[in-house]
Every structure is written in C-alpha cells, then in structure tokens.
Amino acid sequence: MLAFDLFFHSAQARGQGLAIAPTCGTTSTHFVLSGAGWPTAPKGCPDTCITFVSVCLDGGQSTCYSAPVCSTSFAVDLATIPSFLNGLAVGQHTLTATGGYECSNDGGSSAGPIRACFEIVADASSAWDTVRTNAAATTIDIKMKPGQACDIPLCDSIRLIQVIRMRGRHAGSPLRLVSFAEQYAFDTSRSGLANFYDAYVTSSGYTVDFVRNDAMAPYTDSTGNKHTNTALEVHFTDTPRRSDLSYPSDIDTLIFDFELNALCTAGEGAGQWLGQVTWSWERAKGAPSFLGTVLPGTAGRGQPSAPFNIALVAYELLSGYRLPTPPRPSKGSPTCP
C-alpha cells in the first residue's frame, strides 16, 4: 500500500470539461455525465501515483460518483448509479466535480471544482409522434419528433436500428425459431444469402435487420421502404412480406417480432439511446397476399433489451462496425443557471 503525500497544488478549472446530456428529464431519464481534461499522473498509475475524479450532487459533501482510477476522462449514465436519481425533487440540480492525482512521497495536483446542471421535471412528454399501421395493417409507420420531449439530448443525427426474431408454428404446436436457410430453401433467388444472414443470428433467435453490402448498416436502410432523416424528424416504415416458398414443411404460420431503437449518432448526445418501439408481423401459408398482418406493440423511452444488445454485439464482431460512443466534453466549465 502506498503512503501518499497530501500536499497539492491546484490546476486551473478551465483545463477541465464537464457536461451532461440531456439537461432535462424525469428521474427515469438516462442522463449521461461526461468529463475530460483532468490532470494526468506524472508517474506510473496506480503503482506510484493514483488519479481521482469525484462528483457530488447539490453541494453535498459525500461523493456520489468516482471515475475509474487512472482515467483522465469518463462517461457514466446516472441511471446506472444505484439510488442516484431516486427521489430527486422537480427543479434544477447541480453536479460538482473535482479531480487530480496523488503520488507517493511526491505531492499531487488538484483541479476544479467545475459544475454541470440538469433539471428534473414531472413529465418529459413523448418523442414518438406516430406508431400506427396503414388501413390494411400491412405496413408499420413510425415517426419520432425529438423536439417534443425535453429529455432528448441535442442530436445532429438520429438513426434507427432494428432487430428481428423469426418464428413459426404448425396449428396446435408451440412456436419455434425459423432460420433464413429454411425460409430460402425453395426460393432460388435468395438461397445464396441464407448462410450469410444466419451467421448473424444469436442463440435466442435475434438478428440485426440489415441489408448486405448496405453502407448504412446496421441502421435501417435508406432505400426502399425504410427511411432515416435528420434529427428534426425521424421517419420509418416497413412492409414485411414472405411468399409460400418461405415456409418449412412443418410450419403453416410465420410470426416475426421486431424491436426498433433510436440512437443519437452525432452531436451533443452522440452514442445515447433515445427510445424503443416494438411491433410484430404474421402471415399464414396460402394467404392471398404476401404481405401478412402488422401488429403495433409498445413505444417509450426504454433502453434496448438484452436480446437486442446481444444481437448488436454479434453484428459488430462479424462486421467490424462500431457504433458511436458519448463524446468527451471540450475544455471549460459549462454555465449553470
């Protein structure tokens, strides 16, 4: 165990940055606090020196969050800190951060305090403007208007990622997973794609809904009947379809479950998940149309489910694609009211 000298010199606060996004929400909102520019230990960490960043809430003396040792930047979702947001009163709240390093028998450095502020409201409103089907219930229509909800961080771009679970059943039998290979076995126009797509399917049957060789992947594609627009409005439509050639011999009904999540991909809130919509589709073999029936599910500010995250990790591992992460703030302390 190291014996640390407790004498410090102060670093200028303007060298550090602290930011929170969004700046308004409820006690269920995923506020992401990020910091950067904290002093770097001049010697080995944690052998000779240790670094620290401590965050306190509303002038409290006890630390409510500590950044990982030896880090000079961090990003943390406040909703993941036990009891942090529980019971916070409606109104403005202030986060104060101090940091620095301590070295064995060689003094240290401190920086801060700097502040970031956020507001708790009783109701943040909904960003999902539309979740409906067309008159024939063959198409899902989903529209997000971020400006309608105060707990959406500032985003220059919002993209949508969808996962799908494909199942089927025979009358009176339980549902079972149905692979791409089974669906494409008798469809010579698509059979060459079966092994490629099946490689992305997880053990629980979920896979990212993407188009091979699409530069937009894994986001919903920008051609055909799926769309992503600017952060002012995000619009998505989908019309699943299967022909009778897609049914294995023991399946007479196909049922697909979808989970769609909105991701901020550029701007202050980059890397943050903004909300989720679930929906489903089914079609009986022999139906007069290839289109089937769409059933809307739920829409809200929930975070991606565990099966969604597992499917996304599988996609990243196989494709080499990496999603954006929350940016570290620029230097300087933001102004609080």
Given a cut of 90, whether residue 304 has pLDDT beyond it is yes
**H helix and E strand count, the chain:** 3, 18
Give the Cα separation of 111 and 96 in Å (integer): 12
Same domain for 138 and 41, yes or no, is no
- Considering the domain boundaries, does residue 85 fall inside one? yes
Question: Residues 6 or more apart from 55 whose CB is under 8 A from it?
Answer: 33, 35, 63, 64, 65, 66, 67, 95, 96, 97
Q: Which of 61, 87, 120 is the last residue of a domain?
A: 120
Given a cut of 60, whether residue 229 has pLDDT beyond it is no
Give the Cα separation of 210 and 163 in Å (integer): 9
Same domain for 93 and 158, yes or no, is no
φ and ψ of 312, to 5 deg = -70, -40
Is the model's pTM score more than 0.85? no
Same domain for 112 and 134, yes or no, is no
CB atoms within 10 A of CB 325: 11
Same domain for 107 and 57, yes or no, is yes
Q: Which of 86, 102, 120 is the last residue of a domain?
A: 120
Same domain for 135 and 180, yes or no, is yes
Position 5 scores a pLDDT of: 32
Give the Cα separation of 160 and 99 in Å (integer): 37
- Considering the domain boundaries, does residue 276 fall inside one? yes
Same domain for 147 and 101, yes or no, is no
Q: What is the pLDDT of residues 74-122, one digit of tens each?
A: 899 999 998 889 889 999 999 999 988 888 876 777 787 889 999 999 9
Q: Which residues of 132-161 are buried (b: 16+ CB within 10 A; e: fewer)?
A: eeeeeebbbbbbbbbeebbbbbebebbbbb
Same domain for 88 and 205, yes or no, is no
CATH number of the structural domain spanning residue 88 = 2.60.40
Question: What range does the domain containing 158 cover?
Answer: 128-319
- Please report how many Cα atoms fall inside a 13 Å half-sphere around the Cα of residue 50, on the Cβ side: 14
Same domain for 58 and 154, yes or no, is no
Which of 163, 240, 159, 245 is CA-nearest to residue 197? 163
Q: Which of 89, 120, 151 is the last residue of a domain?
A: 120
Same domain for 53 and 165, yes or no, is no
Q: Which helix or strand (DSSP H or E) is residue 254 part of?
A: strand 253-266
Residues 156, 266, 319, CA angle at the centre, nearest 5°? 135
- Considering the domain boundaries, does residue 22 fall inside one? yes
Which residue has tokens 């060459």? Answer: 192
Given a cut of 90, whether residue 284 has pLDDT beyond it is yes
Same domain for 147 and 265, yes or no, is yes
Position 231 scores a pLDDT of: 59
Three-state DSSP at 300 gives strand
Give percent of the chain with pLDDT exceeding 70: 90
- Considering the domain boundaries, does residue 324 fall inside one? no
Same domain for 275 and 155, yes or no, is yes
Q: Is the peptide bond preceding residue 174 cis, with omega within 30 degrees of 0?
A: no
Question: Residues 6 or more apart from 266 whose CB is under 8 A from it?
Answer: 155, 156, 157, 324
For residue 150, what are the CA distances in angstroms to 47, 116, 232, 266, 320?
Answer: 45, 17, 14, 18, 34
Same domain for 112 and 31, yes or no, is yes
Provide the number of structural domains found in the chain.
Answer: 2
Q: What is the pLDDT of residues 122-176, one digit of tens each?
A: 988 888 988 999 999 999 999 998 888 888 888 888 889 999 999 999 988 899 9
